[in-house]
Amino acid sequence: MKIKLCEQYSFLRLLSLKEELSVLPNVKPGILRGRPIVRLYYKNNRGRLTYKTYSEENDEGERYFRIAARRAEIKDEIASIESALGKSLFGKLSRFSVKTGGSILNEELWNTAGNDENPIEKRGSYYHNGIQMRSRTEVLVAEILDELGLQYKYEPAIKFDSEVFYPDFLVYIEGLKRCLIIEFYGKSDDEGYLYKNVHKMSVYANCGLIMYRDVLGLYGTKETMVSNTFVYNSVVTVINQLALEALVLE
C-alpha cells in the first residue's frame, strides 16, 4: 500500500504556490472580437487599476499567455490542497515558522545544475520524456517523481569536494527550497560496481549529506529490480521527514 504525503508537506507546498502567485504579473485571459487575448492589470501613476491587452502575435504576448496559464495551474492546485487539508492543519498552525537552508542541496544548486550531463555512453532503449536513461528502474523512478509532481534533473553535473559527480536524480522539493539526491545502485551484487560507488557515498558523507535524508539510495541486483510501491514509499517517507523538520510550530 502506498503511503501519503503528510499534511505538513502539503501546507509547505501551499505556501510556496501562494508565494509564486504573488510575484507573477496579474494577467487574465479573455476574448476580444472573437480572438483570445490576455489583459495585464497594473496601477497607473495615479494609483488606479488599469490594463493593457495583448494577443499571441508577438513574443511579449506569448509570454503573458504562458503566465496566465501558469496562474490558472497554481490557483487550481491551491484550491485542491486547501480542499484536501480543510481545517485539519490550519487549526493547529496558529503560529509557525519554516526552516529552510543550511544544506548544500539548496535552491542555488538546483538553479545552476544542468540536465543529462553525464558523458558516459548509455546503452539500451530506456527513455522517459525524451531523456535516455540507463535502466528500467530509473524510468520507474522518473515516472514516480512525475506522479508526485516533483521537479527533477537526470544525471546533472554537481561538484562535491572538487570532484564532479553525476547523481541519478536531483529532485527539487519546492515547498522546502531544497533538493534530494536519488541514487539507484542496480548491480549491488557486483563487488567491483559497489567499490566504485563507495567513494561517491563517502564524498557525499564528507560534505555533510545524510543517507535517507539528503540522499536516498535504492538497491537492485543484476537479476532483480525494486518495486513501484517500494520506490514510491521510499521517496514519500524522505519528503515527509524533511517537511516535519522544516515546519516548526511555535
Locate the domains of the chain by residue range. Answer: 7-94, 107-249
CATH number, domain 107-249, options 3.40.1350.10, 3.40.50.10440, 3.20.20.80, 1.10.287.3510: 3.40.1350.10
HSE at residue 117, side-chain half, CA atoms within 13 A, is 15
Detail the DSSP E strand segments found in the chain.
Answer: 26-32, 35-43, 49-54, 96-98, 126-128, 131-133, 151-154, 158-160, 163-165, 169-173, 178-185, 215-219, 247-249
pLDDT in the model for residue 95? 67
Between CA 88 and CA 68 the distance in angstroms is 31
pLDDT (tens, 9 = 90+) of the chain, 250 residues, equals: 999 999 889 989 998 999 999 999 999 999 999 999 999 999 988 889 999 999 988 899 999 999 999 999 999 999 999 888 886 666 666 667 777 767 899 999 999 999 999 999 998 899 999 999 999 999 999 999 999 999 999 999 999 888 999 999 999 998 889 999 999 987 877 777 777 788 889 999 999 999 999 999 998 887 777 899 999 999 999 999 999 998 876 6
Going by DSSP bridges, is the β-strand pair 215-219/178-185 parallel, antiparallel, or unpaired?
parallel
Q: List, as own/partner pairs, every contact residues 220-228 make where C-beta atoms lie below 8 angstroms and the sequence separation is at least 24, other chains included.
A: 220/137, 220/184, 220/185, 220/186, 220/187, 220/188, 221/186, 221/187, 221/188, 221/189, 222/186, 222/187, 222/189, 222/190, 223/189, 225/135, 225/136, 225/137, 225/140, 225/186, 226/137, 226/140, 228/140, 228/144
Residue with cell 572538487: 162
| Cβ 250 vs Cβ 96: under 8 Å | yes
Between CA 184 and CA 171 the distance in angstroms is 14
Q: Is the pTM here over 0.75, yes or no?
A: yes
